[in-house]
Amino acid sequence: MTIAPKAPKKLSMKQRYSALTRDLDWEPSYVSTDDMFPYTTFEGITIHDWTKWEDPFRLTVDAYTKYQAEKDKRLYAVLDGFAQSQGHLSLTDASYLNAMKLFLQGVSPLEYQAHRNFAYLARHLNGGGPRFAALCQSLDEMRHLQTEVHTLSNYNKYYSGFANYLHQHDRVWYLSVPKSFFDDAVSSGPFEFLIAIGFSFEYLLTNLLFVPFMSGASFNGDLPTMTFGFSAQSDESRHMTLGLEAIKFLLEQDEANVPIVQHWIDKWFWRGYRVTALVAQMLDYMLPRKVMSWKEAFELYFEQQMLNGLFQDLAFYGIRPPLNVQEAIDEKEILSHQVYWILYQFSHAASFTTSMPSDEHLDWLSATYPDTFDRYYRPLWDKERRNIAAGGRHFDRGLPQLCQVCQIPMGFTEPGDPTTICQRSSDYNGEHFNFCSDGCKNIFDHEPEKYVQAWLPVHQIYQGNCGGGTIPDVLAWYKMAPGDGGEYLGSPDHQSWLGWHDMAEQTGGN
Amino acid sequence: MSVKSIGEYSFPSRSRQELYGDDQLVHVWWKDNPWFCAAACFRAPKAMTWGDFWNALVIPFMEEDPDFDPAHEFAWALEGTPFTPDPAATLESLGVTHKCVISMASAA
């Protein structure tokens, strides 16, 4: 009599997930848990039971790679088609690409930094569930960097400002804003990073950071970037879930975690919000065809979805909305105008161009910001119009005062007074430090030892660490070629665009 | 409050005065003129007189504003405290310190 071997038992989805992820975890026998995971105690966070981490996606490596490969195939088909059909000629205007230059220089390198730190979490978190979630996110972030670079590389063949984005990310004054933000996060502990990036960046502010760029692409004929956005969207929803799971897990594990997490939310809301200042001006000033105003985006994605949604749920755990959130709300009518005014007068040292808004654009700004634009900002553009008519163009002739924490030139104003620049300062170890806001001052005062190390571009230039003492020296050190920055009208991009569209004669070659 | 870290955490400031030798950084903020988006940051010798500071550094910067009049009588403040700079006095003797803010206002 022969006994037929039993057919292999087919595992259910849940069993399969367990077998391929959490069941691969083990308890150490010849080293202590503390030796194996040395970095999960020093921040003061208490975790009683790592198995309580929920992984709602139940993703396994084979399923993950299959999904991602399919998405990549679709994206690269679009990229090929766009390149072969000279799709760049159907953008709304060459000036639209300033938004993408800012994205490639400022945001894409952050994806790589996120990749690195999530890889670190994939090794150093005690629980099998969160380690696997961090592993997937680490791979996602690497894929995002790669696909963003591939997506935008086609424009690099025809337009200036794209070529040296990585070199510039580490050196240029406005890129020190996102760079120092992420450096701050990766140099913190694993739990603070989870709240800084997993929660605050990927959940609280993600729709303000990411969606405006992708919607801008969709409204301005940039099919590749729009397709990249779709390709990243399912990853982003997974990242949002991880961020939300991370905060709930920390809050549920021990009540003593609540004040620590609250401080991180306060800090990282403000850090992230200051980075979104670059997005604010992009939405209101850089897109030839507008999607929505910064004010509308802030109201929808932050006030409605986060303050009136998320924070109602977090109140259950004893978490209140972030400190200084009212300042951010009050700034929504003035933020984009202040930031563009900064970039406009320093764009001779940038790897994107700016231009005075057209009459139609100014009218849109007046209509969109009826309480502030005509009162505070139109007069500046009227003066600049006279300046241009007299042969000028407003480029600053020196270097600006920078905030020690967010590193943005200190152009933000006092709460409730859009006419007076906000000046805050602290003295630490006998040295004087300047801040743009109460939010940035609070962050410094909590950890002054950290922020005294800030690599402030203006100070570094004055110390002679940036190629030399003149603007051409510094621009050479930035690897900026003539035409990469400055005024858009008459720039190489503008001239090429007119030439390609055979419009030179109609517009008098202007 | 202080940084929570895995070891001793003590690093020098990247912008401490000694990195500038006999010079220091000085911010000049034209308080009631939004033409300049932010205060300017200058590197100036501590021993520089106010007159030289004004003529050699501040005026060339401020001239970017087509309405700037160097002969205008500005109201000055050092870190918020009103003061009247003597053109012959050095920055150091006027109490100007590293990374401080000097404000000027067109309106009295």
Domains annotated on chain B, with CATH: 17-105 (3.10.20.560)
Joined tokens for residue A42: 């020093």
Joined tokens for residue B102: 């000097």
Residue B80 has pLDDT above 50, yes or no: yes
Pick the closest to residue A492 from A91, A95, A105 (CA basis). Answer: A95
| C-alpha dihedral (A471, A473, A479, A481), degrees to nearest 10 | 60
Residue A58 has pLDDT above 90, yes or no: no
Mean pLDDT of the region A131-152: 94
Pick the closest to residue A246 from A229, A228, A264 (CA basis). Answer: A264
Q: Who's near A431: CB < 8 A, 6+ residues apart?
A: A452, B13, B15, B16, B17, B98, B99
Question: For residue A46, is it within any domain?
Answer: no
Task: Report pLDDT for B108.
Answer: 66
Q: What percent of chain A has pLDDT over 90?
A: 84
Tell me the C-alpha to C-alpha distance, in Å, between residue A256 and each of A52, A166, A253, A318: 17, 41, 9, 11
- Determine contact: A259 vs chain B, CB below 8 A: no
**φ, ψ of residue A408 in degrees (nearest 5):** -80, 140
R_g of chain A computed on alpha carbons: 25
Greater confidence, B57 or A10?
A: B57
Provide the CATH number for the domain around residue A93.
Answer: 1.10.620.20
Judged by average pLDDT, the poorest of A170-174, A303-307, B16-20 is: A303-307
Question: For residue A375, is it within any domain?
Answer: yes
Q: Which residues of A45-62 are buried (b: 16+ CB within 10 A; e: fewer)?
A: bebeebeebebebebbee
A505 — pLDDT class (breaks 50, 70, 90) = low
Task: Report pLDDT for A2.
Answer: 66
- For the stretch A428-449, pLDDT in tens is 999 999 999 999 999 999 999 9
Residue A121 has pLDDT above 70, yes or no: yes
**φ, ψ of residue A486 in degrees (nearest 5):** 90, -145
Chain centre distance of CA A362: 27
Mean pLDDT of the region A198-206: 89
Tell me the C-alpha to C-alpha distance, in Å, between residue A142 and each of A108, A162, A255: 10, 19, 35
What one-letter code names the amino acid at A302? F
Residue A275 has pLDDT above 60, yes or no: yes
Q: Who's near A368: CB < 8 A, 6+ residues apart?
A: A284, A293, A295
Mean pLDDT of the region A255-282: 97
A510 — pLDDT class (breaks 50, 70, 90) = very low
Tell me the three-class secondary structure of A334-395, residue by residue: CHHHHHHHHHHHHHHHCCCEECCCCHHHHHHHHHHCCCCHHHHHHHHHHHHHHHHHCCCCCC
Residue to mutate among A376, A432, A450, A456, with most B CBs inside 10 A, is A432
Question: For residue A509, is it within any domain?
Answer: no
Residue A16 has pLDDT above 90, yes or no: no
Task: Report pLDDT for A238.
Answer: 87
Q: Who's near A265: CB < 8 A, 6+ residues apart?
A: A195, A199, A200, A204, A319, A322
How high is the mean pLDDT of chain A? 94
- For the stretch A469-483, pLDDT in tens is 899 999 999 999 989
Run of H or E including A431 = strand A431-435
Q: What percent of chain A has pLDDT over 70?
A: 98
Question: For residue A11, is it within any domain?
Answer: no
Number of domains in chain A: 1
Question: For residue A335, is it within any domain?
Answer: yes
Question: What is the number of other CB atoms lying within 10 angstroms of the CB of residue A295?
Answer: 20
Report the predicted TM-score, pTM, of the whole model to 2 decimal places. 0.95
Judged by average pLDDT, the poorest of A9-13, A126-130, A347-351 is: A9-13
- For the stretch B20-59, pLDDT in tens is 999 999 999 999 999 999 999 999 999 999 999 999 999 9
Residue A371 has pLDDT above 60, yes or no: yes
A399–B40 CB contact, under 8 Å: yes
Scan residues 333-392 of A and list those with Cβ closer than 8 Å to B: 338, 341-342, 345-346, 376, 380, 383, 386-387, 390, 392
**Chain A closest-CA separation from residue B63 CA (Å):** 9
Tell me the angle at which helices A211-219 and A223-253 cross, rounded to the nearest 10 degrees: 160
Partner residue opposite B40 with nearest CB, options A392, A398, A455: A398
Mean pLDDT of the region A179-194: 97
Question: For residue A505, is it within any domain?
Answer: no
Q: Which residues of A touch B6 (CB under 8 A)?
A: 38-39, 42, 189
A459–B31 CB contact, under 8 Å: no
Judged by average pLDDT, the poorest of A237-241, A262-266, A460-464 is: A237-241
Question: What is the number of other CB atoms lying within 10 angstroms of the CB of residue A184?
Answer: 21
Q: Identify the contact set of chain B against chain A, taking CB-CB distances under 8 A.
A: 1-6, 9-17, 19-20, 25, 27, 29, 31-32, 34-43, 60-61, 63-64, 66-67, 79, 97-101
Mean pLDDT of the region A86-90: 96
A15 — pLDDT class (breaks 50, 70, 90) = confident
Q: Who's near B74: CB < 8 A, 6+ residues apart?
A: B104, B105, B106
Joined tokens for residue A76: 């690269």
Tally DSSP H helices, then E strands, for chain A. Answer: 25, 7
The complex's ipTM works out to 0.98
- For the stretch A19-54, pLDDT in tens is 888 888 888 999 999 999 999 999 999 999 998 988
Q: Report the alpha-carbon distance of residue A319 to residue A311 in Å, rounded.
A: 8
**φ, ψ of residue A409 in degrees (nearest 5):** -50, 135
Q: Report the alpha-carbon distance of residue A427 to residue A452 in Å, rounded.
A: 11
Residue A506 has pLDDT above 80, yes or no: no
What one-letter code names the amino acid at A145? L
Residues A222, A154: contact at Cβ < 8 Å? no
- For the stretch A204-248, pLDDT in tens is 888 888 888 999 999 999 999 999 998 888 888 888 888 999 999
Residue A353 has pLDDT above 50, yes or no: yes
Residues A141, A201: contact at Cβ < 8 Å? no
Question: For residue A177, is it within any domain?
Answer: yes
Question: For residue A17, is it within any domain?
Answer: no
Determine the residue of chain A that is closest to B12 in CA distance. A453
Q: State the DSSP code for A187.
A: T
**Residues of the domain holding A360:** 52-500
Bridge partners for A424 per DSSP: A435
**φ, ψ of residue A278 in degrees (nearest 5):** -65, -35
Query: If DSSP codes are grouped into helix, strand and coil, which group holds residue A331?
Result: helix
Q: Which residues of B touch A380 (CB under 8 A)?
A: 34-35
Question: What is the number of other CB atoms lying within 10 angstroms of the CB of residue B75?
Answer: 15
Q: Which residues of B touch A413 (CB under 8 A)?
A: none
**Chain A closest-CA separation from residue B31 CA (Å):** 7
CA A172, A177, A183: angle at the middle one, nearest 5?
100
Tell me the C-alpha to C-alpha distance, in Å, between residue A378 and each of A106, A359, A385, A415: 28, 11, 10, 20
